[in-house]
A and B are shown apart, each in its own frame.
Chain A
Amino acid sequence: MVSSRNIRLALALLVVTAVIGIVAAIFLNGSKPAPSEPVSPQTPRNVDLALRDARFTEVRNGATVWTIVAERAEYIKEGEVANLSGIRMLFVKRPGTGNITVTAERGTYSTKSRNVTLRGTVHMTTDSGIVFDTETLDYHAATSRFVTNDSVTFRQQRMTLTARGMDLDVDGQVVRFHSAVDAIVKRR
């Protein structure tokens, strides 16, 4: 016959095992990292607002001067700068000036100064057939000028040239190349 002492021993063993199991379960559960909140992908910590297909427009005297469409725009609250990627900037046709379209991989837009920086495969085309390529280009809103100190390739009608440094006056529709101008004019 199984003595009552053994039964009590078995029961005690059972209880202890159960307690250990419960404690282990709690402990295991406790150490699992809390499931991370669903943060939008690639949103850096200092970005307050991230937009997709963002659109910026510069209006002067009631007329649109240019429009920027960016595949992605990230805003930082303190700064007044938006970091853009997948940029397309279009200058609207006005009397005396044709359309100008500029695309670039990334850049910034300052809501205060209205200046734009463009970086990475910067490509510009104009109505009158100018085609222009460089790696870095800055737009100065106050003077409506595009400026770079980088090497550039430029094509206009029969002329193709390379140079270092360029300054394009959007209003006056005049472009100046600063140095090392090497051009060829030939029938296409």
Chain B
Amino acid sequence: APADGGVSRKDRSNLPITIKASQLTADNKGKKAVFTGKVVAKQGDITIFSDKLTIHYGTNKNEVEKIEADGNVRIVQENRVGSAAHAVYDSKEGKITLSGGTPRVTQGADSTTGKIITYLIDDERSTVTGDAGAPVVTIIHPRERKNNDAPR
């Protein structure tokens, strides 16, 4: 965790979300909208690719409570990529929870897998839980030392 005890978390829920998909089903009671077929959703620096995306509106008409992605989920934020069978994106908390399939987060050459991965978008931090069937495995490639970076 960063030395300064955490980074101020950005509330992205105000940012517009653009979504492209093959189909959409929305219920008139305005509770949710379900996009299916090659879904690509963007909000700020976050891009979500999935087979299906569900937008849950909050009780307050102006709010998106959460976004759920299902099927071949891939979430890209700069050089960090999260993948799983299911993901929940909480834009207010800046948090993405990956589960189902083989949840994995890669950053550059490093990667982490487990049963459930929760990563905090602005903290550059992830919490990974595993179990016997899906142990937590983290692979970190030490950065190559440059010549003048010889050990003392």
Contacts and interface: CB of A to CB of B under 8 A. Distances in A.
A139 B53 CA distance: 29
Nearest to A129: B30
B16 A185 contact: yes
Interface of A: 97-98, 126, 128-130, 154, 156-159, 161, 163, 173-188
A130 B28 contact: yes
B146 interface: no
Contacts of B28: 97-98, 126, 128, 130, 173-175
Interface of B: 14-30, 33, 35, 55, 57, 61-64
A134 to B, nearest CB: 15
B17 A185 contact: yes
Contacts, number: 84
Given A157-B62, A158-B64, A181 B26 contact: no
B25 A176 contact: yes
Given A128-B28, A183-B18, 11 more contacts: A129-B30, A129-B61, A130-B30, A158-B63, A161-B24, A174-B28, A179-B22, A182-B20, A183-B35, A185-B17, A186-B16
A27 B48 CA distance: 88
A174 B33 contact: no
Contacts of B15: 186
B25 A159 contact: no
